[in-house]
Amino acid sequence: MYYKLFQSGLNVVKEKAMPLVFEEVKLECGYRIDLLVENKIIIEIKSVEALNDVHLAQTLTYMKLGNYKLGLMINFNVIKLKDGIKRVINGTL
């Protein structure tokens, strides 16, 4: 997926590290975003039986920490790919 997005001319970063700060403790790589497209859209890639609330919480956490408005969760463990795509909007901006 990274290759195809990059090949189409988009700015894509894979496994982007997100620092985690709690009080005076800072972990440089607390989280990793699967793909960040054009520094605007988070793409979380899964291959699970079904997307659930934990996956949504993970994606929303990345979006809130990075101040991103839009995310996509893509589950490749489906017969039709369109059935495995869920759009996520960060409403806290």
For 19-43, the pLDDT digits (tens) are 777 777 777 666 889 999 999 999 9
C-alpha–C-alpha distance, residues 89 and 93, integer Å:
10
- Percent of the chain at pLDDT exceeding 90: 70
The pLDDT tens digits of the residues spanning 40-76 come to: 999 999 999 999 999 999 999 889 888 999 999 999 9
pLDDT at position 91: 81
> What is the distance of C-alpha 39 from the center of its chain?
11
C-alpha–C-alpha distance, residues 37 and 43, integer Å:
8
**Fold exhibited by the domain 2-89:** Lambda Exonuclease; Chain A (3.90.320)
Paired with 88 in beta bridges are 71
Question: What is the residue whose two structure tokens read 């901006």?
Answer: 93
Question: What is this structure's pTM?
Answer: 0.84
pLDDT at position 41: 96
The SS3 assignment for 86 reads: strand
- Closest C-alpha to 65, from 17, 18, 13: 18
The full set of domain ranges for the chain reads: 2-89
